[in-house]
Chains A and B, each alone.
Chain A
Amino acid sequence: MKAAFIRYLPLVLLGLLWEIAPRVGLVSTLALPPLSDVLKAWLRLLEGGDLWSNAAASLYRAGAGLLLSIVIGGALGIVMAWWRPVHVVMSPLVELLYPMPKSALIPVTALWLGFGDGSKILLIFLGCMLPVTLGAYNGARGSDQALVWSARSMGASRLRTLWDVVVPSALPELLNGARTALALSFVLLVSSELIVSRKGFGYLIGFLGEGGVYDAMFAVVLTVAFLGFVADRIYQRLMKRVLQWQE
């Protein structure tokens, strides 16, 4: 308990600084509203319902896109590792697309599907697929040949072996790729909502900013940042649970 307090003490100190500095005039209260004002604004948003409706929209989009990217990206990675022809076709594409900034997909998805949920889900699906595919591919490639042969010798068909041996072997690296995808999904979500959206966290931040309601804007920014952090922590716990069998 004490250790945790000492560990996070710098944050507490920064919080204090945030409260004091604008109040004593070190920085303008417009540029940096005092922490207490931000918290009050946050509560107001919570009561008013704005935060909930926009949060729901954002989380729905990110969740759907992420789920699709993990399932399809994971499957693709495993198939690429398992069947040579698929690998030959897909791998140069993967190598070319890896360094491309995924945010470049924002205009094109907006072009195709407009300002609504669809474009965001598509964006996150496409953008987040790559880390998952790579993780699944590397994980499946690394699956122990001895395990595969054991399964086959016990009568498992190729497909059965794929499901029973390769997929679990690939799981750790796949899940690691999914963790990267999780962080990326937040980034793509917020980015696209800042630019081409009519609801969601990013939209709300922009809206509040343009309206000059800076304390509320700060509140939403912190909310998103915090959610990203919490999501990662929760994911890590889940990963540990799923991968319990690993030493």
Chain B
Amino acid sequence: MIRTGATNAASQIVVDAVSHVYRPPRGREVLALQEVSLEVKSREFIALLGPSGCGKSTLLYLIGGFLPTRDGSIRVDGKPVAGPGPDRGIVFQHFALFPWKTVRANILYGLEKLGLPRAEREERARSFIELVGLRGFEDSYPSQLSGGMKQRTAIARTLAIDPEILLMDEPFGALDAQTRSLMQSELLAIWERSRKTVLFVTHDVQEAVYLAERVVVMSARPGRVKAIVDTNFDRSDPQVFKSKMFIEKVDEIWGLVRAEALAYEAMQKESR
């Protein structure tokens, strides 16, 4: 099944010439992003791809409102981003689960903040636990779960508040290869069912090509948008990873990324 373009033609997220300077507590400041511009349509699945230090996570955090936008502007649904909020749900690489809460309590947290009545909260939590396949583990603590299960909890927690936009910061980066590919298919399946706008940060080219409709390739630091490659093709084919089109896309993008990765390495050596 080929995904058709977004039903809503207007852009939901507009990033306009955004630059960001990172000021470490000690040492010199660093230009993380330079004049990045990007438009994301509603219900699109976008991947942000690039070498380490290219600022892709920084861009995500700016869109999420966790870092202030000082240079340039970011608008979501026409309004400038003023801070974090439940309209842009975030999932982190290291899960960021509240370790003192059970799986269920973690998922309930955002629902409580939404002010939903008790019965509805419980029901929603239950259905999302079911959705990510964690039935039977509701009363476990994160320390008792495997990496994959923790990430499922984190995803369920964010999905439960039904955000329009999903920001994912290398969510499968901390998982082993097998769990990772499992989670990728599951994420796509979930996305098929309830279309959200997804911004997916990764450094894995295959992952980006598989999951996203468009892949935004970023340059080495300071991060700029190097290229945007269209990767919208039929994913229902289980052999898609071996299909000619897929392999060609991966090659094309890998070529773009590789040049940046080498540039980054050269930069590291220089600064030594």
A adjacent to B, CB under 8 Å: no
Residues of B within 8 A of A (CB): none
Residues of A within 8 A of B (CB): none
